Structure 1
Amino acid sequence: MVGKVSATDLERLVFTRLGSADPAVIQGPEYGEDTAAIQVGEETLVVNSDPISLAVDRVGTLGVMVACNDVAASGGTPRWLTNVCILPEDGERTLDRITHQIDEAATELGVQVVGGHAEYSAELSRPLLSMTCIGTTDRYVPTSGAAPGDLILLTGEAGIEGTAILASDFHEELDGQVEERVLSNATDLFEKISILDAASVLTSHATAMHDPTEGGVLAGLVELAVSSSVEFAVERGAIPVRPETKTLCAAMEVDPLRIFGSGALLATIPEAEREAALAALADNGIPATVIGRANAAPDDDGRVLLDEETLASPVEDDLYDLWE
Structure 2
Amino acid sequence: MGSGRQTGFVMGKIPPETLLRAVYTNLGKRDKRVLVGPGIGRDSAAVKQDGTILVFTADPITGTPSHIGQHSVEINANDIATTGARPKWYMCTILLPVGTREDSLREITREIHETAKRLGIAVVGGHTEATPGLDRPIISGFMVGETRGRVLSAENGRPGDRILLTKTVGLEGTAILARDKAALLKKKGVPEGLLKLARSYQEQISVVEEALLTAKLKGVHALHDPTEGGVLNGLWEMAEASGLGIEVWAEKIPVAPATNVICLTLGLDPLKLMSSGTLLLAVEPSRRSAVQKALQKTHVRLTEVGRLTSRNTGRVLVKHERRQSLRAVSQDELYKLA
- Do both proteins adopt the same fold according to a TM-score greater than 0.5, normalized to the shorter chain? yes
Residue 48 in 1 paired to residue 57 in 2? yes
Deviations 1:224-273 (A, max 9, x none): 01111111111111011111111111111111111110111001011121
Aligned with residue 333 of structure 2, among 310, 318, 322: 318
TM superposition shift of 1:23: 0.9
Aligned with residue 164 of structure 1, among 156, 160, 175: 175
Distance 2:24 2:69 in 1: 29
Residue 30 in 1 paired to residue 30 in 2? no
Counterpart of 1:51 in structure 2: which amino acid? P
TM superposition shift of 1:304: 4.1
TM superposition shift of 1:110: 1.4
What are the ranges of 5 or more consecutive residues in structure 2 without an aligned counterpart?
1-9
Aligned to 2:14: 5
The 10-residue stretch of structure 1 (303-312 or 128-137) with the greater mean CA deviation from structure 2: 303-312
Aligned to 2:267: 253
Q: TM-score, normalised by structure 2?
A: 0.92
Aligned partner of residue 178 in structure 1, secondary structure:
coil
Aligned to 2:210: 198
TM superposition shift of 1:314: 3.8
Aligned to 1:141: 152
Aligned to 2:6: none
Aligned with residue 294 of structure 1, among 296, 305, 308: 308
Counterpart of 1:103 in structure 2: which amino acid? H
4+ runs deviating over 6 angstroms: none
Counterpart of 2:232 in structure 1: which amino acid? L
Contact persistence 2:41–2:237 (CA under 8 A):
yes
Contact persistence 2:232–2:329 (CA under 8 A):
no
Distance 1:163 1:101 in 2: 20
Distance 1:37 1:169 in 2: 36
Aligned to 1:88: 97
Distance 1:53 1:284 in 2: 30
Residues 106-255 of structure 1 correspond to what in structure 2 (within 5 A)? 106-137=116-147, 138-176=149-187, 177-205=189-217, 206-255=220-269
Contact persistence 1:221–1:304 (CA under 8 A):
no
Contact persistence 1:305–1:311 (CA under 8 A):
yes
What are the ranges of 5 or more consecutive residues in structure 1 without an aligned counterpart?
none
Distance 1:3 1:49 in 2: 15
TM superposition shift of 1:279: 0.9
Aligned to 1:99: 109
Aligned partner of residue 148 in structure 1, secondary structure:
coil
Q: TM-score, normalised by structure 1?
A: 0.96
